[in-house]
Structure 1
Amino acid sequence: MSTEITIKDAAKQLNISVQRVRTLCRTSELDARKVGNSWIIDKDSLNSYGLKTAHKIAEDHPAYNVNKQKPIALSFFSGAMGLDLGIEKAGFEIRLACEIDKYCRQTIALNKPNAALLSDINHYDAGDIRQAAGLTEKDDIDLIVGGPPCQAFSTAGKRKGFNDDRGNVFLKFLDLCLQLKPKYFVIENVRGLLSCPLEHRPHYKRGEGYTELDEDELKGGALNFILKRLESSGYGFSFNLYNAANFGTPQIRERVIIICSRDRKRPPYLVPTHSEHGEHGLPKWNTVKRCISKLDKHDHLNFPEKRLKYYKLLKAGENWKSLPIDLQKEAMGKSFYSGGGKTGFLRRLAWNKPSPTLVTHPAMPATDLAHPEEDRPLSVQEYKRIQEFPDKWQLAGPLIQQYKQIGNAVPVGLGYAVGSLIFRLLRGIQVIQPVNFKYSRYKNTDDIAWRAEFSQNLSNSRKSSNSNKRKAL
């Protein structure tokens, strides 16, 4: 049952002035009632306001009011909980969330106050995790999910892999999963994981006069290291590069999903619900128009005036290339003469297609995400719809942080596909997959084709190395 507190106590908790608290009471931003000349404030309302505006820190806490009827899922690197919402929708209870980002923690506390909340994964061992989740050593964990920071493997970064501090938390997550021994665990990451080496050798140390790349230095060395750990631990696994559009998300967004099984069996791939052109008898991909056309409220950033004049000349689905050639040069400046497709510049979304991959800032010059018709970037509400978050899902922090949280999230539909598959496997329900389904636009992105390619590359490297040795003799 909620309790009430005074204005002075409220001001102290939020670290703001008493006068500011009075204003919040008068404007009904806080749930309060007038008693004489002062206000009495509902404690739950104050807590919610403090988290949403980042005036209040989301403290670590154990799980409350646990549901023992549902299968148990633990979440790491939870972010704004897109993956978790999908897992929950499939029938799991998210018993624990682990997240270090201040604003994401506040978002988690706002929306899932009963789930245990932990911070830096490096600060906990398997016993700490069980205790926070309300689990004993004898309790079985059905599922662990996590998307370790992707920058260490992203093609946009320096590709340091496990030599990057962010890569090290990947190994910490893997170690925790193997110690906690869940029936299933899931690793989510970016496409760059498929090609990132475990050890990066500078390009100036390659070629004539240097030894050939070894196993850890080859493209994909980091993933190969992970797979060897899984095999030695006794877990079966499968992975693929999945386009979220094939699972109902109105967005082209590709992520590597590794599914690991304690029973040593190789899990099946996720079951698609949509296809680009209706192949396999499935519905066509969802579109932007279907998900955002009926929204009323919009909180959004703005484009600078110098870019707005060009947007006013573009229609839905167009970008800078649709402008007259003289305006293309004017709008792009020096970038006009650089290489690459540059399709993210001055980009309006198309109504009748899925959105491009949402980014953390929709108004950056090279990754513009403009509304199909209105002269503005996509709003946070539209971001939520495209990532399939519920409209009522509260986001903490300033506007730019809200964009970042949703832009970094896993689409709920992709999370639901993961949860649905594992729920079926736990229940022994047969999983039927379409034959030869094209999960991604890229080649050799599933575990079978990827491993064959990696083995061939390793064999070629060893042959080349042996050949060089013979020449030296």
Structure 2
Amino acid sequence: MNAIDLFAGIGGNTEAAKMAGLDVVWAANHNPIAVEFHSLNHPEAIHSCQDLQQADWSQVPAHNFGIASPCCQGHTDARGKEGPHHHKSRSTAWAPVSCWEYHRPEVFLIENVPKFLNWKLFPQWKSCFESLGYSLSINTFDAADSGVPQNRERVFIIGTQSKNPIEISIPKRPHVGVNSIIEWDYARWSLIEKPGRAAATLERVKNGRKRFGDRFVMPYYKSGSGKTGRCLSRPIGTITTKDRWAVVDGDKMRMLNINEYRKAMSFGDHIKLPKTRTPAIQLLGNATCPVQVRDVLKAVKKAI
């Protein structure tokens, strides 16, 4: 089956599609850096760097399967105290509607944060697809249940040209702890007790030691995972576009490195990323977890 990937980012959905036996023939995103690295990782696809709300869908290849991950920033609480913000990112959800009004694929999959379902315009958005003859199946899964070493809950909306929504189930795998991705021999550690270390950081380290001993992970900035961090046998908390997770080992600590972030997102070592830390983490935090989406896509293929 041929597929297209809207809001493709660095390629989490495309990686998943390939693992599930789909051929991604076209991928698009508005971010030039994301398109550059998606092209490096998936040179077989046609790439487009554009605002998809302005797309000419007649120029997009015909496809049986549509995949899209519209911007989630307008719905998520990942911005902390600021909360979700309302700007044009919310309106990106209308691009798949217009695309699949034109192409009418047999099936599509749309991924977003669970609070997407609380969007005031969600009922109208859903009814647009129903007007086009699609039945929508709405499912929420945690990436950790697919064996990804990260708790990352996402909603997956499946549209099919059928009388009733399809029902899918994905196997629940054992949770994988964050210890599986930590590179303990990585060189760039610093002493915890050093001049300038924030009091809040030292307090989190102190609390973490009481609960977990000498080794654990914790949010370096703000809170998350309470004020004690997480034990290494648990999946890490949600990876975002901000560099915020640190690992503690005895009297030293450091931020997670790019390769550890990549593994936490379930990307393979073959995936190329920017060499600069900030854009690499931004691309990873904006991505989907390929292993999780693979499981969903396989379940969809089985159900249809």
Same fold (TM over 0.5): yes
1:379-438 Cα distance to aligned partner (Å, 9 max, x none): 110011111101121112621010111112111121111221222235xxxxxxxxxxxx
Relative to the length of structure 2, the TM-score reads 0.84
Matched with 1:370 is: 246
Cα drift, residue 110 of structure 1? 1.4
Q: Note if 1:175 corresponds to 2:98.
A: yes
Q: 1:400 to 1:90 in 2, by over 3 A?
A: same
Matching residue of 1:286:
176
TM-score normalised per structure 1: 0.55
Q: What CA distance in whole angstroms lies between the structure 1 residues aligned with 2:282 and 2:189?
A: 13
- Structure 1 residue 159: Cα displacement: 5.2
Quote the residue 1:254 is aligned against: 153
What is the match of residue 361 of structure 1? Answer: 242
Look up the equivalent residue of 2:246 and give its one-letter code.
Answer: A
Q: Distance in 1 between matches of 2:179 and 2:152?
A: 17
**1:178–1:295 CA distance, 2 compared to 1 (3 A):** farther
Give yes or no for contact 1:299–1:379 (8 Å, CA) kept in 2: no
Partner residue in 1 for 2:44:
114
Change (3 A) 1:391 1:262: same
The reply to whether residue 388 of structure 1 matches residue 279 of structure 2 is no
> Structure 1 355/298 Cα, relative in aligned 2: closer, same or farther at 3 Å?
farther
> Residues 436-470 of structure 1: CA distance to partner in whole angstroms, max 9, x if unpaired?
xxxxxxxxxxxxxxxxxxxxxxxxxxxxxxxxxxx
Taking a change above 3 Å as real, the CA distance of residues 421 and 295 of structure 1, as seen in their structure-2 partners, is: farther
Structural RMSD (CA): 3.1
The structure where helix makes up a greater share of residues is 1
Contact 2:73-2:85 within 8 A present in 1 as well: no
- Tell me by how many angstroms 1:149 deviates: 0.6
Matches of 1:259 and 1:381, distance apart in 2: 32
DSSP-derived class of the 1:375 partner:
strand
CA 85–142 in structure 1, closer or farther in 2 if over 3 Å, else same: same
Report 1:102-181 matches (<5 A): 102-120=32-50, 121-130=52-61, 135=62, 141-155=63-77, 156=79, 164-181=87-104
Q: Distance in 2 between matches of 1:266 and 1:298?
A: 51
Larger Rg: 1
Could you say which residue in structure 1 is the equivalent of 2:292? 414
Q: Which has the bigger relative contact order, CA under 8 A and spacing at least 6?
A: 2
Q: Do the aligned partners of residues 116 and 351 (structure 1) sit closer, same or farther apart at CA in structure 2, a change above 3 Å counting? A: same
Residues 187 and 318 of structure 1, relative CA distance in 2, 3 Å threshold? closer
Equivalent of 1:306, from 169, 187, 197?
197
| Greater per-residue strand proportion | 2
CA deviations 1:95-151 (Å, max 9, x no partner) are 111011122111112111221101221332221112xxxx4xxxxx22111111111
Contact (CA 8 Å) 2:182, 2:260: kept in 1 or not?
no
Shift of 1:289: 1.7
Percent identity between the two aligned chains: 20
Partner of 2:17: 87
Distance 2:189 2:126 in 1: 42
